[in-house]
Amino acid sequence: MRDPHVLAAELLEWYDHHARVMPWRVSPKDKAAGQKPDPYRVWLSEIMLQQTTVAAVRDYFRVFTEIWPTVADLAAAKDADVMGAWAGLGYYARARNLLKCARTVVNDHGGVFPNDHATLLMLPGIGPYTAAAISSIAFDTPHTVVDGNVERVMARLFDIHEPLPTSKPALTEKAALLTPEQRPGCYAQAVMDLGATICTPKNPACGLCPWRPDCIARKEGTAAELPKKLPKKRKPTRLGIAYVVRRVDGAYLLETRPDKGLLGGMLGWPGSDWQDAEPQPAPPMPAEWRDVGAEARHTFTHFHLRLKVMTALVPMDRTPSRGTFIQQQDFKPSSLPTVMRKVFDLTQDT
């Protein structure tokens, strides 16, 4: 394998011609002309991209930056507005930490993202990967950025057969070996682009890869089986009940879920606990409840969820034990997290 400096230079040359166009990214041409990345946009995109695809994030990013173009704007936003704009993107703890981080940057750092890697790690919701990405992409300091794309490229380039996640330290070590002192931000994005567009999980386009002559897995014929992964544990299934109450004036009964836990801080339908056994009924008020005859099904990171959906139409004088009635003109199904929107959609089909 050739010198790491040569490999980095070749990848940067490839990136200069083939970089993906992203709404949060400064192109190589514009960066060469002196335009600097906006740390706010880099941070926002990296938080959104965690465990989510670029295709899913693009529209959310545009909405957020149109409504809240600066970190100060986001810090001043209402929690409910941000959570509503985030709805559907999943992993809602990210949205809560997004607000905490924005407010910390404004209150403790004068509205300016710190360019110190150690200080970035102290901000809410910023872990080692995100701190490295911000340091590298926004501030051009040589920190090694390792996401799923980079892991795949390194596993193939060095023919590493130890399965993920146990191989992560070895893959990170190899990635660090190649990270250059010059243009580290462009290089970090280049490796991610290489994995996303050329060194793909299936049918990699090896003939177009600038690192083709040096890829050990290509020479050994093992690229298709890398990176190896430990077998996934089977996800359990949990059961629950969701209660959709509509008042005669068209208002819907909704509640804000606790800050901690799944869907924390999001609006949702009152319901039972989610558990392995058949759930105990937990209606928010006495009513003539009707089973819609279908389940809302959703998969979270660690389990599958099946929700029985119950509906009721109640008079104006009915008082719920929990939740608040939201007037019809103020209710936006799009502000609900995905599983709660699935529940709502089932009530519209019956």
Q: pLDDT digit string (tens) for 132-149?
A: 999 999 999 999 999 999
Q: Token match 């059961």: residue?
A: 239
User: Are 191 and 325 in a shared domain?
Assistant: no
Residues 129 and 247 placed together within one structural domain of the fold = no
Is 230 contained in some domain?
A: no
Same-domain status, 221 and 253: no
Shared-domain flag, residues 27 and 148: yes
Q: Which conformational region is residue 274 in: left (phi greater than 0), alpha (psi within -120 to 50 degrees), or beta?
A: beta
The number of residues making up the chain comes to 350
30, 19, 57, 52: which is closest to 41 by C-alpha?
57
Report the domain count for the chain: 2
Check which CATH number belongs to the domain holding 102 and give it.
1.10.340.30
**What local confidence, expressed as pLDDT, does residue 45 receive?**
96
Residues identified as active-site: 46
Judgement on whether residues 148 and 52 belong to the same structural domain of the protein: yes
Q: What's the pLDDT at 16?
A: 96
Q: Which two tokens stand for residue 286?
A: 């006495």
Distant-in-sequence, close-in-space partners of 174: CB < 8 Å, separation ≥ 6: 154, 157, 158, 160
Q: Is residue 343 part of a domain?
A: yes
Do 280 and 165 share a structural domain?
A: no
3-class DSSP assignment, residue 247: strand
The string of pLDDT tens digits covering residues 13-71 is 999 999 999 999 999 999 999 999 999 999 999 999 988 889 999 999 999 999 999 99
Q: What distance in Å separates the CA atoms of residue 94 and residue 132, rounded to the nearest whole number?
A: 17
- Residues of the chain whose pLDDT is less than 70? 349-350
Last residue of a domain, one of 225, 250, 280: 225
Are 194 and 306 in the same domain? no
Q: How confident is the model at residue 349, as a pLDDT? A: 65
**Domain match, 188 and 116 both:** yes
* Four-residue CA torsion sign, 142, 147, 153, 156: positive
Task: Supply the CATH number for residue 270's domain.
Answer: 3.90.79.10
Residue burial 8-25, b: 16+ Cβ < 10 Å; e: rest: bbbbbebbbeebeebebb
For residues 31 and 187, the answer to whether their CB atoms sit within 8 Å is no
Residues 6+ apart with CB under 8 A from 238: 274, 275, 276, 303, 304, 305, 306
Q: Which residues span the domain enclosing 247?
A: 237-348
Q: Which of 183, 198, 225 is the last residue of a domain?
A: 225
Same domain, 197 and 332: no
Strands of the chain (E only): list them: 237-247, 252-256, 267-268, 290-299, 304-314, 324-326
**Are 114 and 244 part of one and the same domain?**
no
Mark whether 204 and 340 lie in a shared domain: no
In a domain, 231, yes or no: no
Distance CA 47, CA 94 (A): 7
The answer to whether residues 155 and 149 touch, using CB atoms and an 8 Å cutoff, is no
**Pairwise CA distance, residues 199 & 167, whole Å:** 18
219 shares its domain with 245: no
Answer with the one of 225, 250, 285 that is the final residue of a domain: 225
